[in-house]
Every structure is written in structure tokens, then in C-alpha cells.
Structure 1
Amino acid sequence: MIGRLTGRIVEDSAEGVVVIDVGGVGYEVTVPLGALGRASREGDDVVTLYVHTHVREDTFALYGFPTRDDRAAFRSLIGVSSIGPKIAMSILGALPAGELAAAITRGEASRLVAVPGVGKKTAERLILELKGKLAAAPVVAKGAEAPRPAAPEGKAEILQGALTRMGFRPAEAERAVTALGARVQTEPLGDLVREALALLSSK
């Protein structure tokens, strides 16, 4: 079984399938949206992905993640009845491991339902079966520096910056902002972020 790959990304498709060159061998790996932006890097080209090797009678597929927690979350998700790799990847594209754990802990079914392919009953089952089983999101200690307010700039730039800080590549973030059109200037930022995540997850 392959547990980790470190190499250069030589192909990158919009469907989330990348080819990572490791010592001259190209491994085809499916990654969640935003994963490459959050993955550990050595220089500009070399990236490390934590891999789950998915083997079935007619399938041998590799799924790559930026952290061990994301890989563990994926394994927990596909352990839930009716949750396959495709839906699990959509969930982790919208909610990285820490955010998913927080949503599960707080019982926020609405955040799960916002992911394409996840209905209300599925979201409730995920909360029931995964509560307490996922790594919690890091907590900011008392006295730690609070996040600085965003610089005064256009809302489109703020939204795009928020998406890239969540791990999405600049091209992905720009595509989502463009798709939202004029609504970017009129709707609350929180709503725009949720809609942008839904758009990116559906690609």
C-alpha cells in the first residue's frame, strides 16, 4: 500500500486528478479541492501528499491529502454507510479535516448539506456516526494574537483572498468569484464564502 508520495506535480486536471512524478514514475492521484494549496512543499515544485490506497475487485485508486488528519477524515467518511470516495472527496474539498470535525461536533448539518451529493439524512447520519471520532480544529490559546482585520479593498479581492487562505489555488478562487458575478458586491461575505465553496465543490 502507498501511504505517502513526495514529488513534482506534472499534470493537474480540473476534475481534481493530478499526476505526481516520483523518481520518474508518474502516480495518478485524486485530491480534494484546495488540497495542493495546503500541502507541504519543498521549493516551488515538490509537494508531499498523504495517500489512501483504495482497492476493490475492479478498482485500484490513489487519493491524496495535504495532512494526515485529512487522510484520517477521509477514511472515517468512507467507513459510513452509503458514503463512497467521491462524496468523501467533495466533503473534504468544502470542509478540510479541522472544519469538518468542528461542524460534526457542533451538529451543523447545514454545512454538510451545502456539499453537493449530501442530503439531510446523510448529514444527520454523518454527525451521529462521526461525532468524537475526528481530529478537532486547532483552538487559539488565550492571549494569542487575534486575526487582523482585512485591509480595505474590494469585496471581490477579500473573497478571493479568503478562498486562497483556505487552501484553494488562485485560479480556483478567481473562477469562483467570477461565477458569483455582481452578487459579490451586494451579499454578505459569509454567504459568499459558502456559495463559493459550493461552486468549487461541484466542479
Structure 2
Amino acid sequence: MIAYIKGTLVQIHEDAVIVDVHGVGYEIVCATPFAFQASLDNQVTIHTYHYVREDTQVLYGFRNDDEKLLFTKLISVSGIGPKGALAILGSVDTQAFIEAIEREDDKFLTSFPGIGKKTARQIILDLKGKLTALASMPAQSSVNTPSGEDASGIQEAQEALKSLGYTEREIKSIIPELKQEDTQNTDEMVRKALALLMRK
């Protein structure tokens, strides 16, 4: 198994990053690729999970071992595949997710795309009591982020747009609309920003 990739971050795409390791480019699928924006063109270490099936091989990437562990626990649940696990990692505060499992909050769990009541119950059955070691993890990608983090989310999105070739003037023209978005997830903000820019 490939535990991590260490090399130069050369590209960031909507759902993946490319890391150059001695001339070999590794495509690593991530929940929030633009979280690595600050490391573009620099040395980076990305924790990875090598997903192998008969018809596919994919490298999934994470910012730390805790994120990777949560991912592996999620895909062990019947009804949740890698895409579903990444969607959860990219849009929820990890502690809130763990707390929802511990209090058996079906309503919270079914708020994620593709998670129905049956799968929510399966998550609780399989993972309750098994994620408490991660409960001390710092909150990441919370939908209800403090105002101090709002600015950094906007800033990360702006940097991502600059790297895609948009001018400062173009970016500033959509900031007011971007600030009205409910999410502070950088990738979601970038997608919304691109949609807004396409209309101008």
C-alpha cells in the first residue's frame, strides 16, 4: 500500500492534485484539493489510501492520518463508497460528525447526499464507539464556521481563482455574492465562483 506521497505539488484540479515525485506525476483524488493551495509549486506530503479493485486503482489523499483513518472507517460501512466518504469529509466538521454517530442522530447523517435512513443506521451500527479517538481532532470544513474563518475561506478561494488565471478585478466583482453562500468549504466556494464568473 502507498501510505503517503512526498514531492512537488504541480497542479490543483477540481477533484484532485498532481504531485511530481522525481519526474513521475501522481494524481491524488482529494475531498478538498484547494486546501493544498498554499503549497502549490512547493514540497508537500499527502497521506494516501491506495484503493484497488478489479477495474480501477485510485489514490485518495488526505491532509493528515486522522482524516485518512476516518475515510477508511467510512468506506468499511456497507453502502458507502470512496466518493460518498470524500463528500462527507469535504463538507462536515469532523467532531460534529462523530458526535452525531454517538448520539445516533439519523437526521444529521441523512443530510449528506446518498445517505438514506438505512445507510445512516448502518453507519451508527458499525462506527459508534469506534471514532472517539478522533474526537479531539481540530474542526475542519464546518458549515457553521466562526467569522474569523470566513475570511480565510474567501481568501483561499481567491488564491485558487488567481492560479486559474482570473484577474483581481474579475475576482473582486463576485466577492459580495460569494460571501452570501452558506458554505465556507473552499472547493464549493471555488465552484460557485467559477459559475458566477461564467455569467459575467
TM-score normalised per structure 2: 0.67
Match of 1:184 among 158, 180, 183: 180
| Structure 1 partner of 2:165 | none
- Matched with 2:12 is 12
SS at 2:70 equivalent:
helix
Confirm or deny: 8 A CA contact 2:8 2:41 kept in the other structure: no
Bigger helix fraction: 2
1:65–1:159 distance in 2 versus 1, CA, 3 Å: closer
Deviation at 1:58, TM superposition (A): 1.1
**Equivalent of 1:90, from 82, 87, 90?**
87
Change (3 A) 1:37 1:29: closer
Once the two structures are superposed, what CA deviation does each residue of 1:141-194 show, in whole Å capped at 9, x if it has no partner? xxxxxxxx85xxxxxxx6733747xxx94349999xx69949939xxxxxx34x
Q: Is the 8 A contact 1:50 1:68 kept in 2?
A: yes
Query: How do 1:132-143 residues align onto structure 2 when only pairs under 5 Å count?
Result: 132-134=129-131, 135-138=133-136
Q: Which amino acid aligns with 1:13?
A: H
Paired residue secondary structure (1:2)? coil
Aligned-residue offset at 1:132: 1.3
- The answer to whether residue 54 in structure 2 is matched with residue 57 in structure 1 is yes
Query: Which stretches in structure 2 are left out of the alignment for 5+ residues?
Result: 139-145, 162-170, 192-200
Q: Matches of residues 118-157 of structure 1 in structure 2 within 5 Å?
A: 118-134=115-131, 135-138=133-136, 150=147
Task: Give the conservation status (yes or no) of the 8 Å contact 2:19–2:25.
Answer: yes
**1:112–1:123: 8 Å Cα contact kept in structure 2?**
yes
> How many residues get paired?
170
> Does the CA contact (< 8 Å) of 1:50 and 1:64 recur in 2?
yes
Counterpart AA for 1:62: L
Question: Counterpart of 1:116 in 2: which secondary structure?
Answer: coil
Partner of 1:102, secondary structure, is helix
Report the CA distance between 1:48 and its aligned residue.
1.4
> In 2 relative to 1, CA 7–108 (structure 1 residues): closer, same or farther, beyond 3 Å?
farther
Counterpart amino acid of residue 188 in structure 2: L
Aligned residues of 1:163 and 1:173 also touching (Cα < 8 A): no
Shift of 1:37: 4.4
User: How high is the sequence identity, in percent, across the aligned residues?
Assistant: 36
Contact 2:88 2:112 in 1 (8 A): yes
For residues 101 and 35 of structure 1, the distance between their equivalents in structure 2, rounded to whole angstroms, comes to 24
Partner of 1:189: none
SS of the residue corresponding to residue 49 of structure 1 reads strand
Cα separation, partners in 2 of 1:60 and 1:169, compared to 1, 3 Å: same
CA distance in 1, matches of 2:43, 2:107: 37
Give the alignment's TM-score, normalised by structure 1. Answer: 0.66
Counterpart amino acid of residue 170 in structure 1: A
Aligned to 2:30: 31
Residue 78 of structure 2 aligns to a residue whose secondary structure is coil
| 1:9 aligned counterpart, secondary structure | strand
Unaligned 5+ segments in structure 1 are 141-148, 151-157, 186-191
